[in-house]
Each structure stands twice: as structure tokens, then as C-alpha cells.
Amino acid sequence: MSTLAHPASGRRNTQRVRKWGPAAIVFGIGMALWQWVLPALGVERYLLPPLSDVLQAFWDNRSELVRGGWITFKEALGGFVLGCSLAFGFALVLARWRPLGSALMPYMIAANAVPIVAFAPITNAWFGTLSPWSKVVIAAVLCFFPVLVNTLRGLTSLRPESLELMRSYAAPQRVVFARARIPNSLPFVFSALKIASVLAMIGAVVGDYFGGSTEALGVQIVSSVSLAQYETAWAAILVASLIGIAFYAAVALAERLVVGWHPSIRAGVD
């Protein structure tokens, strides 16, 4: 491998450095603050242990943390898939039969304002504390409303001429949805899916807080704190954050692949 870069790739590297450089510097500063400045300021370990201790705790507990992360991620993913697909299907029905939409929408919006994690102890009672379903349901309900509202907007926000065109072809509703309304909704759907990926992780972890299999990540956070193992708790939070970021990034990647034609995406492509 040559260290002499091709001029074009050299330029690309320069661009990359310019794009990511500032963020990398901020990251470095943040880590340094965490590691050295906070302890020097006398921040106690139960408030925030130094970075190296957290990393050490991660390394020591890596197999439990990864397994716990996987369990909680499966709860989040299950809730995401369930909540988002129900919301999408529901949005299709409401867009197809508008009177139904206008009858139900006020309640949907009101329900959207309900703090859904407040139900977490209740779903544990419904499904049993150890069942993953109590977390899946919390995650699903959290995902449902943003996806419903955004999809519905996407399905109904076409220019009138776009629909008149279909009308002039005497296209049945099925075709109008398949060729016009659904493609038009996809950018809206994907912004909602990105929000939902974050909400699903929150739902699953918070669901864990109220009890679950001792291996689940949220349960580990709670029990580490109660045993004063703050380093382990922080390591578990780190794992949850990384999973959340990876989940979001996966949805963003899917967005790129599916709605590459959309202005918000095409600005980034090229």
C-alpha cells in the first residue's frame, strides 16, 4: 500500500478532514474533559466516574453488557417494527377513507401528547415483568404516533395536479396509492422512522427499569446503581447509546437507499 495518495483521492481526503475534523476535535475535547477536568474539579464518582474507569468497567463486563444490549435491542426492534407497521397501515386506511381520518385524528393527536412511558409499570402488569412483550409494547406505542401523523401527511400532501393526473388516467384508488400517494409519503415516513428508532430504544430501556429479565440492559443499569457500581452503570448507558446511534444510522442508510430522489437526500449525494 502506497502512502502517496492519488491527487483526486488526496483532495477527497482533504475534504473529508475538513468535514469531519471539527467534530473529531470536539469529540477529543469532550473525552479529555470527562477524563481529566471533571475529576480535577472534584466531581464525585457517583456523579460521573472518569472515562477510563467506565471503559475498564465495560471491558470487565463486556459479555454481560453485550448480551444485555442485544436483549434490549431486540425489544426495541420488536416495538419499532410492530409500532411502525401498524402506524403505516393505519395511515393508509385513514388516507383512503378521509371521514374516518377526520373522526379519529383529534384523538390520535391527543393520544400523542400522553406521556406513554408512564404506562410502563402497567404493561409489566399486563404481560408479566419478565416478559419482553411489556417493553415491546411500550416501544411500539412510542413509535406509533409520530409515524402515523407523518405518514398521513405524506399520503395526503400531494399537489392537486398530481392526483388529477391519476384521475385523467382513470386510475383506481389502489393504483393512486401505489404509484402516487405512497411514493410521495416516503420522505415523511423516513423522517418519522428515524425519530421512532430513537423512541424505541428509550421505550425498551425505560421498560427495563420497571423490571425484566436480569440480563436486559436497563435492568443492569438499575441494579448497578443500586449496588453503587457507577462505572458499570455508565458502561451500560454507553452501550445503550451506541445501540441507539447504530439503529438511527441504519434507518438513515435505508432512507438514502429508498428515497435517494428526494431533495433533502440529493443535497448530500453527488
Partner 1 sequence: MKPSEAVVTARGISKTFGKGGVTALQDIELDVGRGEFISLIGPSGCGKSTLLRVIGDLVDPTSGEIRVNGKSARQARLDRDYGIVFQSAVLYDWRTVAKNIALPLELMGFNRAERAARVQELLSLVELDGFEKHYPWQLSGGMQQRVSIARALSFTPALLLMDEPFGALDEMTRERMNDELLRIWTEIRSTVIFVTHSITEAVYLSTRVVVMSPRPGRITSVLPIDLEQPRTRETREDPRFFELVTEVREALHAGGADDVVEEPEVVE
CB closer to partner 1 out of 115 and 268: 268
Residue 126 found at the interface with partner 1 (CB under 8 A): no
Q: Which of 28, 164, 173, 254 binds partner 1 (CB under 8 A)?
A: 164
Q: Is 269 in the site for partner 1 (CB under 8 A)?
A: no
Give Cα 10 distance to the centre of its chain.
Answer: 35
* Residue whose CB is less far from partner 1, 19 or 159: 159
Is the Cα torsion angle 233, 237, 242, 247 positive or negative in sign? positive
Closer to partner 1 by CB, 63 or 168: give it.
168
> Could you give the CA distance from residue 88 to residue 4 in angstroms, rounded to a whole number?
51
Place of cell 406513554: 116
| Segment contacting partner 1 by CB under 8 A, of 29-37, 98-106, 125-133, 258-266 | 258-266
Q: How far is the CB of 266 from partner 1 (least distance, A)?
A: 7
Alpha carbon distances (Å) from 192 to 110, 213, 229: 18, 30, 36
Which residue, chain included where needed, has cell 471539527?
Answer: 22
Task: By CB under 8 A, tell whether 263 contacts partner 1.
Answer: yes
Using the minimum distance from each CB to partner 1, give the nearer residue, 67 or 179: 179
Indicate whether 168 belongs to the interface with partner 1 (CB under 8 A).
yes
Min dist. Cβ of residue 91 to partner 1 (A): 18
167 binds partner 1 (CB under 8 A): yes
Interhelix angle 217-226/62-96, rounded to 10 degrees, is 130
Count Cβ neighbours within 10 Å for each residue of 235-252 and write b for 16 or more, e otherwise.
bbbbbbeebbeebbeebe
| Segment contacting partner 1 by CB under 8 A, of 42-50, 58-66, 170-178, 248-256 | 170-178
> Is residue 155 a contact point for partner 1 (CB under 8 A)?
no
By the 10 Å C-beta count (0-12 exposed, 13-18 middle, 19+ buried), 186 is classed as: middle
Query: What is the CB-side half-sphere exposure of residue 256 using CA atoms within 13 A?
Result: 10
Question: Can residue 186 be called a binding residue for partner 1 (CB under 8 A)?
Answer: yes
Of 48, 55, 165, 252, which one interacts with partner 1 (CB under 8 A)?
A: 165
Reduce the DSSP state of residue 169 to 3 states and report it.
Answer: coil
CA 262 to chain centroid, in Å, comes to 21
Site for partner 1, rule CB under 8 A: 159, 161-162, 164-165, 167-171, 175, 179-180, 183-184, 186, 259, 261-263, 266
